[in-house]
Structure 1
Amino acid sequence: MKIDLLFAEIGSTTTVLTAFHFGFKPKVIAQAEHWTTVNEGDVTIGIERALRKIKEQLGEDISWERFAATSSAAGGLKMTVHGLVYDMTVRAAKEAALGAGAVIKYVTAGKMDEFHLKKVESIQPKLILLAGGVDYGESETVIHNAKMLAKLPLDVPIVYAGNVAAAEQVEFILTNAGKKVYVTENVYPRIDYLNVEPTRNVIKEVFAEHIVKAPGMDKIKDMVNYEIIPTPAAVMITTELAYEHFGDCLTIDIGGATTDVDSVTDGSPEIQEMLISPEPFAKRTVEGDLGLYVNAHNVIEMIGEENLRKQFENYDELVKRISPYPATERDEYFISKLAMFCAQQGLRRHAGSKKHLYTPTGRKTIAEGKDLTAVRVIFGTGGFLSRSKHAKEVLESLKHLSKLHPMELLPSEEISLYRDKHYIFAAIGLIASKIDKDIAKQLLEMDVELY
């Protein structure tokens, strides 16, 4: 059988292979999946095994006109942060990492020493953030730390987001040591002022580069007809496409390593008047610490082990058996509790908030961050939200968040919930951007199902 497109979504946990026929009415011919074979040193092994399953489903061999892929197989982006003053550094780093796909594993304040270097080396971060000093303030510490990081025996990109007066010298020190350096604006340019967006954008760029670097990906680059793009970016494109049909909307994608939220909305006129800084019309956040398999331990820690033990008598067994393919109904229900936390936290982190300021003329309410109050449609995608029988319960829980957190700019209870029933949002995004937007629209209309 000859198919029009074979598409692989190579996730951190599973690889999903989908065969598409375009013709007069685009449709999914077959779909199969397998563990992503990162641990076997080659992600193409998982693709080959999924392909065998598709051939078994169809009962015949297949060939394809085009092959395409998206990837998030390298999981979350481990990051260490090094600055001048602990409170300032931690606060700035958390804000910068928020939504950029990074997981902060280690933070230092003040001058680094050999102990700190050994600690960083043991963590094996994929990114280092160097900050410190307000603009044109103290620069000795950040220059010292640059010299220490220059000795680090790791090929790790370093983002410099500190005192602008030291930027040129820091870049010179690190570049001469063979490090890849990204210089951006100071995350803390003056006292009590955070400037995290430029740093966050750089972290997102590094994340986008990192998640397509799983073992064996070079082989896939030779196989595909189009550039491999990060799965979160493809899902963002699908959400933008959905906006054209559904209006203000957002997508929640819960994966094995990350929880991604994509929103397409200008927000409500009322909130727009309160906003103190502009937000993008289409915004994507990648929560690198919220996942159902690779980062399940992070989620359990945030929920609280004791809370889960109260609900599940066989908690220890359930934790050992965490898998993208739950063995029992109880396993799936346990995973649903993690998924509910991921969905709620992912949405809340994505949303902005209102704050009260007290001025000489009285109280004034301001808003900052992404306004989701005009969103009327939420899509659920990813292995859990596309397929689990508990997905509706998880999405339904989002309806109540605005009442529980009235100062946050969350969607109201009047939202419609849809699922990506064929688990093809990433494929639709790639098709829309690389192949044919009209075909992508038809697939989207065929795919989404109202809960």
Structure 2
Amino acid sequence: MSNDIRRIVATDCGSTTTKAILIERNDTTGEYRLVARGEAPTTVERPFEDVTLGVMNSITELEEITETTVPAGFSAGRRVLLRDGRVWRQLKQGNRDTSNVGGPLDSSDLYVSTSSAGGGLQMMVAGVVKAMSAESAERAALGAGAILMDTLSVDDGRRDYQKVERLRQLRPDIILMSGGTDGGTKAHLIEMAEVVRRADPKPRFGDMKLPIIYAGNKDAAEDVGKVLGESIQLQVVANLRPTLDRENLGPAREEIHEMFLEHVMQQAPGYSKLLEWTSEEVMATPNAVGKLLKEYAENEKINVLGVDIGGATTDVFSVFLAPTGERIYNRTVSANLGMSYSICNVLKEAGVENIARWLPFEIDPAEVRNRLRNKMIRPTTIPQTYEDLLIEHAVSREALRLAFEHHKSLARGLTGSAQQRDVGQIFDQQASGQTLVKMMELDMVIGSGGVLSHAPRRAQSALMMMDAYQPEGVTMLTVDSIFMMPHLGVLSEHLYEAAKQVFERDCIVKCGHCVAPVGAGKEGEPMVTITGDGINETANVGDLKVIPCGVGEFKNVTITPTKNFDVGEGKGKARTARLEGGTVGIIIDARGRPFSVDLSTPNRVQKLRSWLQAFGLPLPK
């Protein structure tokens, strides 16, 4: 298949912008590379009400760019990529006759698309026990690219009439029901079905029946169907939790994807035409990002943490090796944490003191609060002064931290499962349902979203991620340069090698490896020494240091911590590593783990200014 495909067009229809990219196989190297990128406003709403108009406009920009600017190794001349979709429709049908199109066929060999226009996929989940079946349902919905509106459960503390009111208010696209192990409880599932039937919720789009996916106790499926009645379209799939110690999310996620295409996408203006054009099925934007990260982590045998921080929401993705030996993918959406529309929610949840603690200058917290309120009133504005930029970066640290805490609470083992435990674990609250996110085992962090991708300097992005996530051991810090992970995600399902090549060479920008020993000590005491390949650097407790090392440069080194610190081999034990540089260099973070800063920290402003200086960043006046 890959030998036949030379030119690929991919689009992402976002809520405000439709982004198109053109990927071609380089004539000289034989590798797939990004050739051009185009943007246009999304046209799903009035007065246009046809998403394909925005798609055509963004692809027309690709055609115009390639007429004047083509990188070395690619054939010059304007590409005719789109004629109202007729060329792609013919290719999809296996017809290369261009007589009814006019002119020679010069289209792409593959066209794929993702979408979150129209607000994306909005779901509610209903389970029996909030900490077990309902949590599994949340993981299934979030992993399928949904925005989770609410979670109902028998033990959530709400009365039936309150649940009915909530269902009527929210109008989800799809409801996912779960609960009970196979052969277990039926009564609670029937009770939840009665709540849904009484609410008689209507979907957001059209006058169709509301789709409900049932992924609970298989013995109760028939009874639940009878209770829900004819006004609901029920689809039964395999149980999410067939036993207490096993989770089976795949069938539910696949059904969510199918229903998203069949019900949500088909109702949005112009999507039926877009589905005719694409070579493969359209995928939800967050689902595509997750697909790319999961494929990349599994193929490269690494653990990955990704974040997309937007104006209204922050998505966190992770792929970690579980004790079972498989890599587990998790995604969470913090729908109230963002950098523009939701900036005051960050202020509310984090508190103004937690935001102000990251500012390398003295400022009244009330002034910070007022500036953020102004941003909420005018969400599309960008910082006009360096001081404004530093305040925005302080907010991003808190938004990233809060979203990460939320992610860790969901990305964990199964609560309620039986486990072999020794005496020392009997009193450990974390023994059951322990988080899968282990920072010492993390290999790569990928930062995406405006505040990270468009920071004036890559060092600012690296420092924000280090402060928010506090990586441990040895971790590569990267930034998604122009947010094309959704495009590459949907492509990876059909042509992984092409997606990987563009991802590594054109998508992510490596800032460099971060070495961060775990432990605490007195400020100024020796913490860690790195030696080898021309490097001989010692860092003391509280230091931040950058060793110059460019993109594509590698250093084989020995990392030796002092007796109270650990870099992955145990306290005081040395570790050999192959470190890679980047746009920042090799970073030594000797601030200790965990470390904290607050408004009362001695010499706080001086410390923050010294960290900026270590990264070569300008100081505020």
TM-score w.r.t. the length of structure 2 is: 0.56
Paired position in structure 2 for 1:104: 149
Conservation of the 8 A alpha-carbon contact between 2:133 and 2:179: no
Give, in whole Å, the separation in 1 of the partners of 2:473 and 2:116. 32
The one-letter amino acid paired with 1:127 is I
Paired position in structure 1 for 2:212: 158
Paired position in structure 2 for 1:69: 113
Paired position in structure 2 for 1:128: 175
* Equivalent residue in structure 1 for 2:376, among 302, 312, 319: 319
Compare relative contact order (CA 8 Å, sep 6+) and give the higher one, 1 or 2: 1
The one-letter amino acid paired with 1:210 is F
For residues 52-451 of structure 1, the aligned pairs below 5 Å read 52-55=60-63, 57-58=65-66, 62-64=79-81, 65-66=107-108, 67-75=111-119, 77-80=121-124, 88-89=129-130, 93=134, 96-97=137-138, 99-100=142-143, 101-105=146-150, 107=152, 112-113=160-161, 117=164, 119-129=166-176, 135-136=184-185, 138-139=187-188, 141-142=191-192, 144-149=194-199, 151-154=200-203, 155-160=209-214, 166-182=220-236, 185=239, 197=247, 202=252, 205-206=255-256, 209-210=259-260, 213=265, 214-239=268-293, 240-241=295-296, 244-245=299-300, 247-255=302-310, 258-266=313-321, 272=323, 278=324, 280-287=326-333, 289=335, 290-292=337-339, 299=346, 301-304=348-351, 310=366, 311-323=368-380, 326=382, 328=384, 336-337=393-394, 339-351=396-408, 361-364=423-426, 366=431, 368-372=434-438, 373-389=440-456, 392-399=459-466, 411-435=471-495, 437-447=496-506, 448-451=508-511
Give, in whole Å, the separation in 2 of the partners of 1:226 and 1:111. 44
Conservation of the 8 A alpha-carbon contact between 1:258 and 1:288: yes
- What is the CA-CA distance between 1:8 and the residue it aligns to? 1.0
User: Tell me, what secondary structure is at the counterpart of 2:370?
Assistant: coil
Over 3 Å counting, the alpha-carbon distance change for 1:419 and 1:20 in structure 2 is same
**Structure richer in helix, relative to its length:** 1
The one-letter amino acid paired with 1:43 is V
The one-letter amino acid paired with 1:97 is E
The one-letter amino acid paired with 1:248 is N
When Rg is computed on C-alpha atoms for both structures, the one with the higher figure is 2
Unmatched tracts of structure 2, length 5 or more? 1-5, 69-77, 82-106, 204-208, 356-364, 512-621
User: Tell me, what secondary structure is at the counterpart of 2:233?
Assistant: coil
Over 3 Å counting, the alpha-carbon distance change for 1:256 and 1:243 in structure 2 is farther
User: Tell me, what secondary structure is at the counterpart of 1:416?
Assistant: strand
Over 3 Å counting, the alpha-carbon distance change for 1:58 and 1:203 in structure 2 is closer
User: Tell me, what secondary structure is at the counterpart of 1:414?
Assistant: strand
Over 3 Å counting, the alpha-carbon distance change for 1:22 and 1:188 in structure 2 is closer
Over 3 Å counting, the alpha-carbon distance change for 1:391 and 1:279 in structure 2 is farther
Q: How many residues align?
A: 421
Paired position in structure 2 for 1:46: 54
What is the CA RMSD across the aligned residues, in angstroms? 4.4
The one-letter amino acid paired with 1:388 is A
